[in-house]
Amino acid sequence: MPDGRNRKDIAIGLEVKVVQKHHQRSGELTEGVVKKILTKSPHHPHGIKVMLEDGIVGRVKNIIA
């Protein structure tokens, strides 16, 4: 099961759960649909940074299949 650390697993229109910067300590997840992929590198240990359709920016923690 892909988690959110490899850019190749993330696609625009995919439903994901992200952790926002101010929720990193609590680990609170926000669900949404990927509008834009912000991380340029192919891999990131904390998750690929994306912008959701509602404008929320966070790192992908789960991909909803």
Q: What is the dihedral of CA 55, 52, 18, 4, to 10 degrees?
A: -140
In a domain, residue 12? The reply is: yes
Task: Give the pLDDT score at 65.
Answer: 74
Question: pLDDT-based confidence at 43, cuts 50/70/90?
Answer: very high
Q: How many domains does the chain have?
A: 1
In a domain, residue 2? The reply is: no
Q: Is the pLDDT of residue 16 over 80?
A: yes
Give the N- to C-terminal CA distance of the chain in Å, as an integer.
9
Task: Give the pLDDT score at 41.
Answer: 97
Task: Give the pLDDT score at 27.
Answer: 95
Q: Is the pLDDT of residue 1 over 80?
A: no
In a domain, residue 1? The reply is: no
CATH number of residue 56's parent domain: 2.30.30
For residue 48, give the amino acid letter: I
* Domain span at 26: 7-63
